[in-house]
Structures are given as structure tokens and as C-alpha cells.
Structure 1
Amino acid sequence: MKKTYQPGIFRIKLNVLKISQLIAIVGLLLFAACKKDSPSVTKTTTGTDTTGTGTGTGTGTGTGTGTGTVIDTLTPSKVAVAALDDEVNTFMTTYNVPAVSVAITKGEKLVYLKAYGISDKSKGTKAVISDRYRLASCSKQFTSVAIMKLLDQGKIKLSDKVFGDGAILGKTYGTKTYGPNITNITVDQLLHHTSGGWGNSVNDPMFSNPTMTTAQLITWTLDNRPLDHVPGSNYDYSNFGYCLLGRVIEKITGQTYEAAVKTLVLTPIGITDMTIGGNTLADKQTKEVTYYGQSGENPYAYNITRMDSHGGWVATAADLARFLVYIDKFPVRPDILTSATLTTMYTGSTANAAYGCGWAISGNNYFHEGSLPGTATEQARLDNGLNFVILTNTRSFKANFDYNLDQLFWRAFAKNPTWATEDLFLK
């Protein structure tokens, strides 16, 4: 089930906002969108799975994962939004989703934060708002913002070449003479998925050679996988391309990818709880949910750590909501990137105007989904002043799962709910 963010295929829905005469685009998706951080699987019937879901409010404490009681460090929403609760609970029942975490901002204030269901079925652990989830392809936006921060600092140009003499990575990787056009690949093209190869349409290299290290995989790919197109001429969603961007960040900063993103992006905006995830159930982080596969998928069979810069981050919904308000072009909280750089980040390529630097684009709305076995995620920056984040600990191959994940927000929003007026973010 490989998809790609392609131009001209977004399902747009218009709703009238009952605020003066403002009309806004609301309903970013259904897009035929590759946010997949895993290879295709053969779909099987879902049989008679029961839901195993709950309707927890996210208040109070949970029992954690064997490390004692988990105390939420943020305040859950006191204002109930019945429309959203109803949508989430229906979604969880329909698709056998154990846990969901939702965060919504309005006017750059966190106005809704809630956890639903069970984070660990074997222990009956109630989901709480401090639970951390694998982000899958919602990791790419952190890589993009880190590159953009280096751009603002004058340490990189998007036109910089990646491989070859004088390029950022030089000849660090590969044992053979580089194939045609590889030395022409730029940072900009990796960001836009227009490097000319290594994409999901022709077997993204990230899902080959699972025992190789990152360096070994890059070398193998350069030696064995020639480009399919001239760089810049074709869009093909590439997790491997974002793996390369992680190495670009390491080369420029002299730090590991994780440390560099924390330095450039997370620490300045007050995010302290994000980390790169582990691979197995035994590697589960403190406060991380348990993941549940469907249709024969095993959430713990992939090298998540090697996916660091394209699909490896673990975070709370509140983390992503905080991230969005510092890159959303709105004035309440000062953005961590300049206005010009934000415009660059949110601009598509000639090969695909609907995909910017790590962000899908629909008008002035910027968003992304993520998907791994055991994980489905979405984050969206909206031009109407609201942003939303949805994280789950499973994914389903039942019809319209991706679409209905997105519609959790939009169907509730269409009912004109009342949001909290206080800011739930810790100052």
C-alpha cells in the first residue's frame, strides 16, 4: 500500500465559519498520500477482531509500563467537546484502535488535550496525555525545520550539492564511482522528494538490508541503486532521501542527528520529552505506548532507530502541538524561523506543487500524516488559526482508515464546538 503526495488529488471541503463573513478551506484530505514509513504488506481480512477500546478522558494518572505511576505534566482539557469525543470513540470502535491522543490549538493556545482508551492492553493501562507515540513520517517535519534553521543561520544553502567533491557529504559513502547525476543532487531536492530516485514507487531503500547500519545502507544504495530520473524532474516520496538529510545535519553541526534537532529546534521552544524510538518491545521508552499490529503486521519488526530522520521520533501530542505554534506564521508566539524561510519551507517544487519541504500543501494549510505497523499519526497547521494533532497506537487496512483519521477533527469542527479559553501549554 504505497502512496505518494501527488498534485491535484486532495479532497477539499468547504465549510462556512460562523465568524463574520470568513470562509475557510477545511478538510485537507483524503489525499493519496505517502506517509508510509514501512513497505507494502499484503492486506488480509480483519476477521472478527473486537475493539478493546475505552473512553478514558486522559485525566489523572496511569500505571505506566512497569516503572511506577505516570503523572501527567500537562493539564488535560476541562472543557468537554462532545462532538470530538463521539468521533474518536466511533473511530476507535470501527478500526480496533486501542489508544488515541489529540491536541488542538487555537490562536496559538493549546485549547484541547485529551487521551482516549488503553495504552497497554496487557496491563489495562489507561491512556494519558503524557503518553509518547511513534510519529512515523511526522518525523520528517522536524528534519525539515532543522535544515531551515541551518539555512537561517547561514550554514547551508538549499542549492548545496550532497555528494561528490566539495559537496556536503563528499565521498564519505559509497565504494564505487558515483552513478549518473548523483553528484547533482541538492539539499532542496531531497527536501522535496525530487532527487531522481530511491522513492516508494520503486522500492525505497530504507526497507532493504534491515541489519545494515545507516552508513552501510547509504553506501550500498549508492553502489547498487542508480537514479531513475534527472534530479529535480520527478517527484517520488523517499524516506531514504530524508535519511540522507539526517546525515547532512550531522555533518554540518558535528552532532548526532537527534542531538542536533534538539539543539536547533526542540530546546528553544521548550520541548524536552522527544526522543528517537527503539525497535523492539523491550526497547520501549518510558511513557511510550505499546503498538498493536493488524492484518498480520508486527510493529516491532522494523529498524525504527535507523529511521531517525524520516520516521524515528517518539513524542506526545502536546509536543507536536507546541512545535506547530512556533512554525505557523501566526504572531502570538514568535516563530523560530524567519518569515522568508517559512515561505520557502511551505512552497512546493515544479515537479509537485502540493509538497513543500517535508509538508503537504493545500492552499495555505500545511500538514502531514505518518504510518507504520502499529502507528498512524497526523499533524496539521491550518489557515483558520487552528492546528491539530492526532496520534494512535495501531493502523488499520479497513476501508477509509486514513480518511477517517483526518476527519476526526473536521467532523467535530463542523459542529462548531466550544473550545477552552485558557492555554493548556505549560508556560
Structure 2
Amino acid sequence: MKRVLRMLVTATTAMAVIAVPSVAIAAPPGLQPELDDVVAAGSIGALAEVRGDGRVWRGSSGVAVLGTTRAMPVGGRFRIGSVTKTFVATVVLQLADERRLRLDDPVEKWLPGVVPNGRNITLRHLLNHTSGLYDYVNTIPFPPSQAFHDLRWRTWTAAEQVQRALAYPPTSETPGTTYAYSNTGYLLLGQVIEKVTGKPYGKAIERRIIKPLGLHGTEVPGTSPWIRGPHPHGYVPLESGDGWRLVDFTEMNPSLMGAGGEMISTTRDLNTFFAALLGGDLLPRRLLAEMKTPGTATKNYGLGLAWRDTACGVRAYGNDGDALAYNVWSFSTVDGRRQVTVALTPNFAGSVDGAVKAFVDKGICGRSALRS
């Protein structure tokens, strides 16, 4: 959901979190201190997997449960937020490769009567956030309000979320011209996948990506509120007196995020997924090139795939996600030789952006970082 809470919560109290490193192998110079910095900047806990030079490093820092010394599970599962969009986009592009749909098909062709101006909004526009459709997320109360917490167990349908968005005017009158991040577009893409395949979009992701790649820690939970297996607890702020306090939000109904951000995964699985995607195992070269093509000149975002230029000038492709109580970044070099996935549970008392950027840059750029 793209850092929605960070913009809504003002830090009123400094919250101390003790960094408790827990690593799968001996921590090489550079990576463990950088991960500890991510926790110190504003996290309860963090875990990461970095691949490069034929080696894999997994590490963690901070705590898995607030108020305890329980270490973060290095291979733990977490909600991946908007990284879900890359999975959804991959399925849409696979269907395009099979000629079951075209990227330039109008939404009206697949979802007749659902979207005003649907004849001029294409699947490509939904994928690259240039549809102009209002983001339904902005119609929902968010923490620290009690109104948000009252919706914790509510089951949402894509259809009602889309209708909430359509109650607002478009962010652009001309589709395809302006980048404006919209989760609404991905809810519609989930519906298109179901229309084309005859099965829920989550089943398509399972059959086409999760099972073939052996992503055993990855799932599309639907309305199931639990995170199975080892996992850190996640927290969100709640209004309390003159300020706010953190409450455990590990369990919640993920239909709130749907095809825009409901999935659960691990650092290992995300690195495996992006290695397969960028390596051409999931899409032919021509469609992978389409995926990397920005919708506008103002944003490094293609068809469900983002990119960032690191400090050493190496471009890394992937995505990041905000799943309320969990944040994740997963980026790989185009040749898949170097990969970084880092996930954290934010404490909303500081900004982690700079520390995460430093960690990703170190993982992508720092050759010495993977040497013991």
C-alpha cells in the first residue's frame, strides 16, 4: 500500500527497540551493521536475505514480539503488500503471451459496465498506474483512528472497493498520460484474471508461479487472517489519550488489500521469484521488456515492476510493499546475480527509508559485503 501509514502517523514519542541480531550464517562485514541500522531508524525488527557472488546471507535484527527479547525468525513469513502487484502483473503478461488477452484491451471488453470511460482505459493503464482511477485506499479510515481498527475483521470484495473508488472523480481525464498510484487498478486486474481463466486470481498465481517455483512460504490468503509458521508480529498505531500506542495487528482480514497487496511470503521466496522473473523463466524477453518500460517519464514504474538506481550506478528491478504492519523491499540486478530482500515491522517512531536504501545499496553494490 506504499507507505500509507508513514504519511498518516506523526511520531510523538521515541520508542526504544533493542537490536538482537540472529543470523543464519556468520555475518560478513557490512550487512549485519546495516540491518541493525534499519531497526535503529524505526523498526521493531527486520529480516533479510542477500544473494551475490554465488553466496547467500540471511540475517535478522530487533525483536519478533514487542516487549520481549524474542529474536526475529530469519526465515519468517510476512505480508508483502504491493509486491503482490508484481505477481498479478506477471500472470496478466503470461495470459497476453498465450493470446488470451491483449495489454491494450479496454477494461470494458473484460468488465463491461464496471468502469466509467472503460472503453478508453486499457489493461496496460491499470498495470502502470496511468488509468486515472481514484485509489480506493484513500476512501478507508487509517490508523491511528479507531474507525480503522473497527474494520479489522471485515471481509471486503473487490467490487465494493472499486465502487468506493468510482464515487470520486478520476485523477486524470486522459488515461495513459499521468502516473497516479492506484490500488483500484489491481483489484480490476484481479477480476480480469478471473474472467479470463475462470478461477480466482489467487489460484492463477498459485498454479503459474508459486507451485512451479517451489515457493513454499508464499500464499494468497484470501480472507484468512493468520500468518502460518514462524513469523514476526506486526503492529499499527491506535489513538490513545493525547497520542497513540502500538497494538498487535498480525492477524487481520487481508481482503482489505486484495489483489493490490494481500500476499504472504519470505525473503527467500521473493528473491527466488524475482530471479526467475528477470531471468526469463516466467515471461518471454519481449514481454519482460514491456514490464520494464515506464508508463510515463516521471516514474520508474513499468507494468507491475519498479526499479531504482543504486549508489554504485547499478540498476535494480523489483518492488516494495506496505502491508500496514509489515514493510518489504525486494530488488535484483537485471542479470539476477545480486539480490536483496529486506522486510521489517515498523514502529512508526521514525523513517527507515534512508537506512533501507543504504542496506539495499550495500547488498547490490558492496562486493565485500558478501565476503566473510
Q: TM-score, normalised by structure 2?
A: 0.82
| 1:138 aligned partner | 83
Alignment partner of 1:87 is 2:54: no
- The answer (yes or no) to whether the contact 1:194–1:351 under 8 Å persists in 2 is no
Kindly indicate whether the alpha-carbon contact (under 8 Å) linking 1:348 and 1:357 is maintained by their aligned counterparts in 2.
yes
Counterpart amino acid of 2:295?
A: S
Matched, 1:147 2:92: yes
Check whether the contact 1:37–1:370 (CA below 8 A) recurs between aligned residues.
no
- Work out which of the residue numbers 254, 261, 264 in structure 1 matches 2:198: 254
1:398 aligned to which of 329, 350, 366: 350
Q: 2:291 aligns with which of 345, 348, 357?
A: 345
Cα distance in 2 for residues equivalent to 1:254 and 1:231 = 28
CA distance in 1, matches of 2:319, 2:232: 21
Q: Is it true that 1:283 corresponds to 2:201 in the alignment?
A: no
Q: Which residue of 1 aligns with 2:174?
A: 230
**What does 1:25-424 align with in structure 2 at a 5 Å threshold?**
35-36=2-3, 40-45=7-12, 47-57=13-23, 76=24, 78-95=25-42, 97-106=43-52, 111-121=56-66, 124-163=69-108, 167-171=109-113, 173=114, 179=116, 181-199=117-135, 204-205=138-139, 211=154, 212-222=156-166, 224-228=167-171, 229-277=173-221, 283-293=226-236, 296=245, 300=249, 303-329=253-279, 335-350=281-296, 352=298, 354-362=300-308, 364-383=315-334, 385-394=337-346, 396=348, 398-399=350-351, 401-411=352-362, 416-417=367-368, 419=370
Report the AA paired with residue 245 of structure 1: L
The answer (yes or no) to whether the contact 2:22–2:74 under 8 Å persists in 1 is: no
Instruction: Tell me the alpha carbon deviations over residues 344-393 of structure 1, each in whole angstroms, 9 at most, x when there is no partner.
Output: 11111246452101122346532322224322210112247311100112
CA separation of 1:123/1:298 partners in 2, compared to 1, >3 Å: closer, same or farther?
closer
Aligned partner of 2:303: which letter? C
In structure 2, distance between residues paired with 1:302 and 1:287: 17
2:348 is aligned with what amino acid? S
Q: CA deviation at 1:395?
A: 5.0
Separation (CA, whole Å) in 2 of partners of 1:85 and 1:410: 14
Instruction: State the superposition RMSD in angstroms.
Output: 3.1
Q: How many residues align?
A: 348
DSSP 3-state at the match of 1:390: strand
Give the counterpart letter for 2:204 in structure 1.
A
The Cα shift of 1:213 comes to 2.5
C-alpha displacement at 1:215, in angstroms?
Answer: 2.0
Alignment-mate amino acid for residue 275 of structure 2 = V
Q: Percent identity?
A: 22
Q: Check whether the contact 2:30–2:369 (CA below 8 A) recurs between aligned residues.
A: no
Counting helix residues as a fraction of each chain, which structure ranks higher? 2
Return structure 1 stretches of 4+ with deviation > 6 angstroms.
206-209
Q: Which runs of 5+ in 2 are unaligned?
A: 143-147, 238-243, 310-314
Q: Which residue of 2 aligns with 1:3?
A: none
